Chains A and B, each alone.
Chain A
Amino acid sequence: MALEGFRCKNPYEILSADEIEKIHVGSLEVLEETGISVADRRSRQILEDGGCQVDHETERVKFPPDLVQWAIDQCPDRFTLRARNPELSLDLGGDLVYFASFPGFTWLDPETQTRREASVDDCAMLVRLCDALPMVHTLCQPVAHLGDKPPEVELEWVHAIELRNTDKTIMGTAFGGSSKWLVKMVEVCDQQTLGGICIASPLVIPADQAQGILDYAESGNPQLILSGPSKGATGPATMAGTLVLQNVEILGGTVLAQLANPGCGVMYMGYATPMDMRFGTMASGSAEVGIMAVATAQLARYYGMPSGVFFPMTDAKTPDPQAVYEKHLQTFLCATAGVNYIMPLGGLDNEGTHSPVQMVIDNEICRMVGKVLEGIQVDEERLAIDLIKEVGPVPGNYLKTEHTRQHWQEEYLIPEVGVREEFNTWVMSGSKGVVERATEIARQLMDTHQPNPLPKEAEVELQKILVAAEAEKIVQ
């Protein structure tokens, strides 16, 4: 049993089979001749024992093509991400599409629209909103930083807050050794996490990320391996070149994961963005991001791995038209390309802020895009031939038929934030725009929504793990 996502039956494609082959062959060449710098000693040893050519002095690891192919063959094309409530588990792979929340460094206060550093309580409130919104099929932590906890253990705290405030599945991290503790936390909560590994472009697996790959693989938690070269800055200026680099980095990480635990679940995750050469910022809301997402899904399918993307994103600073058009285009492209794991909900300002108001708007975008994926059901009842004959020309109409009453809801989406009423009604109800409506919904859910509580015993164990992490990580 798993959460019902959406299904993408005929994925939109951008690359031809021949072009994919070229990216693959080129990637094998880079992996073999240039390789990747792996900063963790034990990981290098595992790679060396597995057949890589390793220089421990320079940390460079070169990957023979046969080994890369072996690792690809080990990857399951589909795996379960187990929640403590089985109905909320994810079935990752195939034609399934799930939506996730997106993290920010700070969060955007709904009423004042100002950026704020999150406290433990703010973070819990933001997690509860993720728990409440139906399009958040799974969570990536809403904030990556807590103002009221020591930085060394802020991620351990964030994950504990997630586990306490939602029974949906959560994404893990590896930064600063957090994977070691998260693996223990999800175990006592009787669930899994989707470990999150972030390769540093170009061509570096940082020590903590390598350790994370091992922690997640060895503990039997599936993981995503994420690469995000920035086109023109930390990757080639061309999309094709950036896709090669992204591919090299993901495959390199995958080899390590499969050597550590053959057959473990690895998600192929893209995060490539172009750089805006006027400001030196990442153009995270650009159309190119969506185009590369389509190619990412194709490459993942080619390798028989579930796919993910670390966006949709926007460079807009507030929930405004730019935020909506940029995120909508990317969400639409990702979903129709059949990306299995998409992260549209709540992100603003290229990871700078997480916005509850934007969450509610994105929830609506996801419902609409999901509707697109559902497509059109064609059968005798729905073709309604007999009905059309029966109603005939004007003055006949369909409002008064039983057929309409039975089917209108399954075929139409009722918007929660979008304005649909006619002008005068809209004025009489306060002339509220989308942002005001979304603010009210967000506020109400954050104040009232009650998640399913974490079982008592799990809570006790979770607290012990937090204490142990603090004792180990904070040098007095």
Chain B
Amino acid sequence: MIENDLIAELKEAVIQGIPEKAVAAAERVVELQMDPVEAFESGLKPGISEVGEGFASGKLYLPDLVLSAETMKAAAKVLEAEISRTGTKRSEVGKVVLGTVQGDLHDIGKTIVATLLSSHGFDVIDLGVNISPDQYIEAVRREKPDVIGMSSLLTVTAKELGIVISKLKEQDLREDVKVIVGGGAVTSSYAEEIEADGYGQNAELGVRMTKFLLSVEG
């Protein structure tokens, strides 16, 4: 009984976007030695997808989406520690490393893409802005993501996308990750030219493309 209550509470905390509440519930889950994977799948995930749907249909707004994603992240940290401690596994949609390229400080578009991806169940590592090719490479080595996403809003920084892709090839990492690019300075033909795997004109198309690349349903 208490287990169901806790899972409902996790979901509710994500929907309301209250990290403290979600973290407290997640800690209780660990304390009571409940299945952390179950808490993740039946608590956090349905919560964030409800918020995602609310945003897509215009009932919820960006701040709701962002706070819910933050809440999810905070609670997931607690549960994931438990998952890896107990050696169990949760089914993952995929892991995405995201950042805005070197020389470019435009943050907002990339952040929205990150948020929407996490609301669709992706595990998202947001590297931030002004990310050098070496930082991307390092992140690919460290995080072993399925996808790396790069944003560029300036024509002068668009070439950075190609540089990162060449670096990935040099380091024999290109086959390990899919590369998706977006932002105002990027066109689909440019994405093709630099041999990216995908391009997203906006956050929603970006999510769809990511799902397509990883053959994720929905």
* A interface residues, Cβ below 8 angstroms from B: 105, 145, 151-152, 154, 175-176, 200, 204, 206, 230, 232-234, 237, 275, 277-278, 280
Closest 8 CB pairs of A and B: A277-B61, A277-B62, A151-B156, A280-B112, A151-B155, A200-B105, A145-B155, A233-B108
Q: What is the interface of chain B mostly: helix, strand, loop, or mixed? A: helix
CB atoms of A152 and B107 under 8 A apart: no
CB atoms of A232 and B63 under 8 A apart: yes
A residues near B184, Cβ cutoff 8 Å = 105
Interface check B158, CB cutoff 8 A: yes
Indicate whether A151 sits within 8 Å of B158 (C-beta atoms), given known contacts A200-B105, A233-B108, A280-B203: yes
Our pick among A152, A154, A175, A280 for the contact of B62 (Cβ within 8 Å) is: A280
* 6 CB < 8 A contacts A-B: A175-B156, A232-B63, A234-B107, A237-B63, A275-B108, A280-B112
**A154, B155: Cα distance in complex, Å:** 9
- Among B62, B105, B156, B184, chain A packs the most CB atoms within 10 A around the CB of B156
Indicate whether A278 sits within 8 Å of B61 (C-beta atoms), given known contacts A105-B184, A206-B105, A230-B108: yes
In chain B, residues 131-190, which have Cβ atoms closer than 8 Å to a Cβ of chain A? 154-156, 158-159, 184
Interface check B58, CB cutoff 8 A: yes
* Smallest beta-carbon distance B51→chain A, Å: 14
Indicate whether A280 sits within 8 Å of B109 (C-beta atoms), given known contacts A151-B155, A151-B156, A151-B159: yes
CB atoms of B156 and A176 under 8 A apart: yes
CB atoms of A277 and B63 under 8 A apart: yes
B residues near A145, Cβ cutoff 8 Å = 155
Nearest CB to that of B187 among chain A residues?
A: A117
A residues near B58, Cβ cutoff 8 Å = 278
* Smallest beta-carbon distance B26→chain A, Å: 28
* Smallest beta-carbon distance A36→chain B, Å: 14
A residues near B158, Cβ cutoff 8 Å = 151
**A204, B158: Cα distance in complex, Å:** 22
* Smallest beta-carbon distance B69→chain A, Å: 13
**A190, B58: Cα distance in complex, Å:** 55
B residues near A232, Cβ cutoff 8 Å = 62-63
Our pick among B62, B103, B154, B203 for the contact of A275 (Cβ within 8 Å) is: B62
Interface flags for B54-71 (1: CB within 8 Å of A; 0: not) read: 000010011100000000
CB atoms of B108 and A234 under 8 A apart: yes
A residues near B105, Cβ cutoff 8 Å = 200, 204, 206
A residues near B155, Cβ cutoff 8 Å = 145, 151, 154
In chain B, residues 51-92, which have Cβ atoms closer than 8 Å to a Cβ of chain A? 58, 61-63
**A235, B124: Cα distance in complex, Å:** 24
Nearest CB to that of A352 among chain B residues?
A: B184
A residues near B63, Cβ cutoff 8 Å = 232, 237, 277
A residues near B109, Cβ cutoff 8 Å = 280
**A105, B159: Cα distance in complex, Å:** 17
Q: Given contacts A278-B61, A280-B203, could you give 19 more A-B pairs where the C-beta distance is less than 8 Å?
A: A151-B159, A154-B155, A154-B156, A176-B156, A200-B105, A206-B105, A230-B108, A232-B63, A234-B107, A237-B63, A275-B62, A277-B61, A277-B62, A278-B58, A278-B62, A280-B62, A280-B108, A280-B109, A280-B112
* Smallest beta-carbon distance B194→chain A, Å: 14
CB atoms of B61 and A152 under 8 A apart: no
B residues near A277, Cβ cutoff 8 Å = 61-63
A residues near B62, Cβ cutoff 8 Å = 232, 275, 277-278, 280
* Smallest beta-carbon distance A35→chain B, Å: 18
Nearest CB to that of A153 among chain B residues?
A: B156
Nearest CB to that of A155 among chain B residues?
A: B156
Nearest CB to that of A277 among chain B residues?
A: B61
**A94, B112: Cα distance in complex, Å:** 42
**A176, B160: Cα distance in complex, Å:** 14
* Smallest beta-carbon distance B63→chain A, Å: 6
* Smallest beta-carbon distance A88→chain B, Å: 30
B residues near A105, Cβ cutoff 8 Å = 184
**A234, B158: Cα distance in complex, Å:** 23
Nearest CB to that of A232 among chain B residues?
A: B63
CB atoms of A152 and B108 under 8 A apart: no
**A414, B159: Cα distance in complex, Å:** 50
**A277, B63: Cα distance in complex, Å:** 7
In chain B, residues 170-218, which have Cβ atoms closer than 8 Å to a Cβ of chain A? 184, 203
B residues near A237, Cβ cutoff 8 Å = 63
CB atoms of B156 and A152 under 8 A apart: yes
B residues near A151, Cβ cutoff 8 Å = 155-156, 158-159
